Amino acid sequence: MGTWRSCLFLALGFLAFPWALAEDWRLTRSQTLTQGKAQEWRYTLSPSGKESQELWRRLSEQYRDHLRAGYRVELGAWRVYFLGGRLRVEPHCQAVNPACFTFGALPVAKERQDRFLLELSALLDQALVQANGTGGVVSLPRLFRLEVPKKANPPYPASPSGWRP
């Protein structure tokens, strides 16, 4: 009986894990219907809560400056950069850890920024994997928007979202 309960609690813990991570970010999946016909899927990442929104506003400003200067912005499992004047998103770290990120010079504790970016990376990866299976648009407001054709291989061409290069 004790082993059964341990397994049950462990299973419930794994089921609750994705929701436990979703403190700073949310991923919204939507699809438009026109005249009874389904259109492409949209996957939108957005910071949740005022503190997260402010942190993302300040961090995304620094990321845009990095991109304008010709640097890459590393977002854990993915990286964003300009190549030939076009914005691209490509795989970066397979085993995501704090060293896989471009950190902002912000008056925020490193642990806070780590948690914020790790959650962003996990949801961005989830959005891109889902979009690859269905085809669709992935948006990270204030940074980029990209269209992912069904079963396409990265790198993905993207366009700036909310800013000009």
Domain assignments of the chain as residue spans, ordered by start? 25-160
Q: Is the pTM of the predicted complex or chain greater than 0.75?
A: yes
Q: Are 67 and 165 in contact (CB under 8 A)?
A: yes
Tens digits of pLDDT across the chain (165 residues): 443 333 333 333 333 334 344 589 999 999 877 776 767 899 999 999 999 999 999 999 999 999 999 999 999 999 999 999 999 999 999 999 999 999 999 999 999 999 999 999 999 999 999 999 999 999 999 999 999 999 999 999 999 999 999
* Host H or E run for residue 15: helix 2-21
Yes or no: say if 80 and 87 are a contact pair by the CB < 8 Å rule: yes
